Structure 1
Amino acid sequence: MIEAAMIWNEPNNKSHWDPEIDPDWSRFGEMAVLAGQAIRAEAPGVMRVLGGISPIDPLFIQNMTGKGVLDHVDVVAVHGFPLDWNLWQIHEWPAKIDEIRAVTKLPVWVTEVGISTFGAEEVQVWGLRRTAELLVGKTERIHWYSLYDLPQAWGATTRHKEAEGSSYYRHFYMGILREDGSPKPALETFGDFTPDLGICQWFHFEDHRLDEAVAWMKRLGVRHLRTGLSWADSFRPNALAWFDRQMEALADFDVTLTFCFTPEHRGIAPHHTSAPLVPEEFAEFCAAMIRRYVNGTARDWQPRAAAVG
């Protein structure tokens, strides 16, 4: 079942939202408010989550408070990768959550935390166990990123790709399963902490790993899953058929469903990080997906821009 709907992913990270187009996040704030209102109108019982922030920045949460966004969400979320990308140490996790709790009364979830095997697989084993020791009991949701390594052929969703150096290549080693599906040493350690630890696993359009991923998560005792439906993908041929297959396969988990990624032809700039030309269109996408996968209606929905043009 869908227990929560997340509005965007890492909005304060330039790999997911373009600060040149929207330097003070006013356009994001408008879009997020509209999305929060649309989700609540369709399904009052579904928790609305402000897209997990990375870096963990209380000033960004204060900015969103000032723009009225936190009046239209029920949870704020944070992402942290202290052994790979962040400039703080792993033992600081509880303090990082407290920094956000100091500026909002909303619950704080950790919707992405992970450690790559870029340097050594043994580092992930230690880091996973230490992460669980620090976070279990500190927050209601912890989503480990991720189940699978990202296939090298797919590329990571960043703005500057290989120019980021080793920071880019770490994206491909975050799983507890390798690209070929074989287990890493941390897989067994992960099973020691379920169901307290959930999984964040992004599924690409028509992802061949879907059924195998479901089988692994059930075997590991995963209850909480975070994944996404891409607004950009909704314009692909047969998009709804794939969305239906994905959501049917994930029906046995408590899903936090993330809505994000601007279609190139619907952004101010032709990029997935762009603010949309018409923020209401993103809210319509969120509402339609909630109707379809929570309420079981809107079976014939099509993106508005596609339907009229």
Structure 2
Amino acid sequence: MIEAAMIWNEPNNKSHWDPEVDPEWRMFADTVIRAGTAIHAANPAVTRVLGGMSPIDPHWVNHMRSLGALDAVDVVAVHGFPLDWNLWSIHDWPAKIAEIEAVVPDKPVWVTEVGVGSFGAEEVQVFGVQKTAELLVGRVPNIYWYSLFDLPQAWGATTRHREAEGSSYYRHFYMGLIREDGSTKPALENYAKVAGEMGLMQWFHYEDPRLDDAVRWMKRLGTKKLRTGLSWADSFRPNALDWFDRQMEALQDFEVTVTFCFTPEHLGIQPHHTSAAREPQQFADFCASMIERYAPASAASPTLALA
């Protein structure tokens, strides 16, 4: 079931990794090395993915290589939102992929988040699905469209700098193919045409009430691959393992890339989910325990190992 494990999410973006705590990403590189080693020891068949970078930056990748982090992963991942946040054209996708391939010719490049919101006009999202598929299907091994569902307005987007974003902050709430009220957007029909070749990226919050609906929609659409997350911070909530078990059991019919991220406040250098951990081995141990639980190396087939 678990095809791959991603180590963190957008680590070169201050929304997900605090640059004041770790300005040179040395702690992050150490975290990647420890986690990659632990995941491989738990199950060497699980592909290890360097947390999808945003922005797409070959210089940052070279820095990660200089710190030894690339030796602990099998795949380098990128995220891109050229019609919403990035200052480049959607037509530049092949060039952006080539920039990273040039500095990591020894590893495949995956697009683990790509999306176009409907904030300005839903017709723009229709175009975005069509053009993204045209440019990326067949160009990279794995693509994950962000996302299936709009983010509910009451939940708030996970970002450190909403005040600086201005109106672009609100785009976070319009990235889905299905509205908060459950109605579908026009772009869903276009996604359905490529669902077998373009996976979905969907975060599920702790005890997310949308989980079962997501599974029904993905099966109806013909989606084969899903990227989601298991939060280290959430693992300290009451009944966390019960929720993780329910989530992973519900997703067992898909090829899942699971993202491990979010520092528990009490374990961070700063009390925030973006902070480097005081003891990065604890994060590595969490990653290993999740792989042992949901993708055990001893399993004859990729099924759950629920306690």
Indicate the TM-score class for this superposition, using the shorter chain for normalisation: over 0.9
> Which residue of structure 2 aligns with residue 245 of structure 1?
246
- Give CA-to-partner distance per residue, 1:195-250, whole Å, 9 cap, x none: 11100000000000000000000000000100000000000000000000000000
Secondary structure (helix, strand or coil) at the match of 1:86 reads coil
> Which residue of structure 1 aligns with residue 299 of structure 2?
none
> Which residue of structure 2 aligns with residue 24 of structure 1?
24
The 5 Å alignment of 1:5-16 reads 5-16=5-16
User: Does structure 1 conserve the Cα–Cα contact (< 8 Å) formed by 2:265 and 2:271?
Assistant: yes
In 1, the alpha carbon distance for the partners of 2:141 and 2:220 equals: 22
- Give CA-to-partner distance per residue, 1:149-168, whole Å, 9 cap, x none: 00010000001234421121
User: Does structure 2 conserve the Cα–Cα contact (< 8 Å) formed by 1:13 and 1:53?
Assistant: yes
User: Does structure 2 conserve the Cα–Cα contact (< 8 Å) formed by 1:146 and 1:174?
Assistant: yes
User: Does structure 1 conserve the Cα–Cα contact (< 8 Å) formed by 2:231 and 2:260?
Assistant: yes
In 1, the alpha carbon distance for the partners of 2:226 and 2:112 equals: 9
> Which residue of structure 2 aligns with residue 275 of structure 1?
276
Q: Report the TM-score when normalising by structure 1.
A: 0.95
User: Does structure 2 conserve the Cα–Cα contact (< 8 Å) formed by 1:291 and 1:298?
Assistant: no
Secondary structure (helix, strand or coil) at the match of 1:49 reads strand
Deviation at 1:194, TM superposition (A): 1.9
> Which residue of structure 2 aligns with residue 107 of structure 1?
108
Deviation at 1:127, TM superposition (A): 1.0
> Which residue of structure 1 aligns with residue 300 of structure 2?
none
1:117 aligns with 2:115: no
Letter of the 2:245 counterpart: D
In 2, the alpha carbon distance for the partners of 1:22 and 1:57 equals: 18
In 1, the alpha carbon distance for the partners of 2:195 and 2:157 equals: 27
> Which residue of structure 1 aligns with residue 191 of structure 2?
190
Letter of the 1:173 counterpart: Y
User: Does structure 2 conserve the Cα–Cα contact (< 8 Å) formed by 1:227 and 1:256?
Assistant: yes
1:213 aligns with 2:214: yes
> Which residue of structure 2 aligns with residue 166 of structure 1?
167
- Would you identify which runs of 4 or more consecutive aligned residues in structure 1 move more than 4 Å? none
Q: What is the percentage of aligned positions where both structures have the same residue?
A: 70
Letter of the 1:87 counterpart: L
User: Does structure 2 conserve the Cα–Cα contact (< 8 Å) formed by 1:288 and 1:298?
Assistant: no
Give ranges in structure 1 of 5+ residues lacking alignment: 300-309
- Give CA-to-partner distance per residue, 1:2-24, whole Å, 9 cap, x none: 00000000000000001111011
> Which residue of structure 1 aligns with residue 53 of structure 2?
53
Letter of the 1:32 counterpart: V
User: Does structure 2 conserve the Cα–Cα contact (< 8 Å) formed by 1:201 and 1:225?
Assistant: yes
Q: Between Structure 1 and Structure 2, how many residues are aligned? A: 299
Secondary structure (helix, strand or coil) at the match of 2:295 reads helix
Letter of the 2:289 counterpart: A
User: Does structure 2 conserve the Cα–Cα contact (< 8 Å) formed by 1:148 and 1:175?
Assistant: yes
In 2, the alpha carbon distance for the partners of 1:75 and 1:274 equals: 24
In 1, the alpha carbon distance for the partners of 2:163 and 2:118 equals: 18
In 2, the alpha carbon distance for the partners of 1:18 and 1:260 equals: 13
Q: Report the TM-score when normalising by structure 2.
A: 0.96
In 2, the alpha carbon distance for the partners of 1:207 and 1:194 equals: 23
Deviation at 1:278, TM superposition (A): 0.3
Deviation at 1:298, TM superposition (A): 8.4
> Which residue of structure 2 aligns with residue 306 of structure 1?
none
